[in-house]
Amino acid sequence: MRKFFPVEELARDERFNKITMRDRMGDPRTALNVSTDASGKRTNNFRLTPGRRDASDGARGLMHGIFVGEIQALEGAGRTCWDFETDTEAPFALKLDMARQCWDEARHVEISVKLSDWMGSEIGQYAENTVLFEAACSTDPVLRLAGVNRALEGLAIDVFTTMKEFGDLAGDPYLEFCEDWMLADEVTHVKMGSDWLRKITENDPDRRKKALEFQSVVDKLFSYGGTRSDSQESPIGLARRFRELAGFTDDEVADIAEVSMQALNERKSAVAKMREAADQFASSAAAE
């Protein structure tokens, strides 16, 4: 069996549509784009809650994103078991952890399919971008764990916490409990990433630095537009307590909070500029 499998050749049937991260964020059904509440009033609270006008589409889109993320997490953890020589490149115990993760992710795929069905959507209704698997293509297992387990599954902790609260507020015990159980697994996966990163790079500060840099690149990429931050203006909150349980230090959580707020502020100023330009255009058109 070949090692280091290219992202272009991932097995997907005709239901799946691959798009870029940029296109995905441009999907008008994404939870990021709508700024009115259920009564149609403009609001600064974008948190994904049942009170949002686009709550159904936003929650379904997020659920589909979770579903394709679970497939790629399964594929990535599986590759880490296979791509590296045992002990010389990756400790046997690390591979055992990745094998356990495969088992969890396979279960999450099944849960996500059933939840999507329960929420009234189907496979392929939203597109897939494969950034998660791409982060799992690094030739260094420590970089994979930093990028996938710490950055992306760290984001999964934030997403599951928001979706769990959504289920609670919507009075949907299926959604709430499923998200809660998957959240518990994700905290374990992130903890595996934190523990192995520290253990393997204990006497190799350069490798640790490289891995943390890779993690922060992935974190930044997924902070796009301020989708996730402490502010209610972000659809997804930052799950500080669960991140602590997953082995993030206070400083690391503070860094992610800062990067997320920066991304949110950048988006807000870009939107303000566009509105200003639109207003100017409208007033000059009216004057003519």
Residues engaged in binding Fe ion (CB under 5 A): 70, 73, 105, 108, 153, 186, 189
In angstroms, what is the minimal distance from the CB of 235 to Fe ion?
20
Residue bearing tokens 């905290």 = 187
In angstroms, what is the minimal distance from the CB of 217 to Fe ion?
20
Reduced 3-state DSSP string for the chain: CCCCCCHHHCCCCCCCCECCHHHHHHCCCCCCCCCEECCCCECCCCCCCCCECCHHHHHHHHHHHHHHHHHHHHHHHHHHHHHCCECCCECHHHHHHHHHHHHHHHHHHHHHHHHHHHCCCCCCCCCECCHHHHHCCCCCHHHHHHHHHHHHHHHHHHHHHHHHHHHHHHCCHHHHHHHHHHHHHHHHHHHHHHHHHHHHCCCCHHHHHHHHHHHHHHHHHCCHHHCECCCCCCCECCCHHHHHHCCCCHHHHHHHHHHHHHHHHHHHHHHHHHHHHHHHHHHHHHHC
In angstroms, what is the minimal distance from the CB of 189 to Fe ion?
4
In angstroms, what is the minimal distance from the CB of 108 to Fe ion?
4
d(CA 49, CA 167): 9
In angstroms, what is the minimal distance from the CB of 67 to Fe ion?
10
In angstroms, what is the minimal distance from the CB of 152 to Fe ion?
8
> Which CB, 101 or 229, lies closer to Fe ion?
101
Contact between 185 and 118 under an 8 Å Cβ cutoff? The reply is no
> Which CB, 153 or 158, lies closer to Fe ion?
153
> Which CB, 34 or 156, lies closer to Fe ion?
156
> Which CB, 66 or 212, lies closer to Fe ion?
66
> Which CB, 55 or 156, lies closer to Fe ion?
156
First-to-final CA distance of the chain: 69
> Which CB, 154 or 226, lies closer to Fe ion?
154
> Which CB, 186 or 233, lies closer to Fe ion?
186
In angstroms, what is the minimal distance from the CB of 68 to Fe ion?
11
Report the DSSP beta bridge partners of residue 86. 90
In angstroms, what is the minimal distance from the CB of 65 to Fe ion?
12
> Which CB, 59 or 66, lies closer to Fe ion?
66
d(CA 169, CA 153): 24
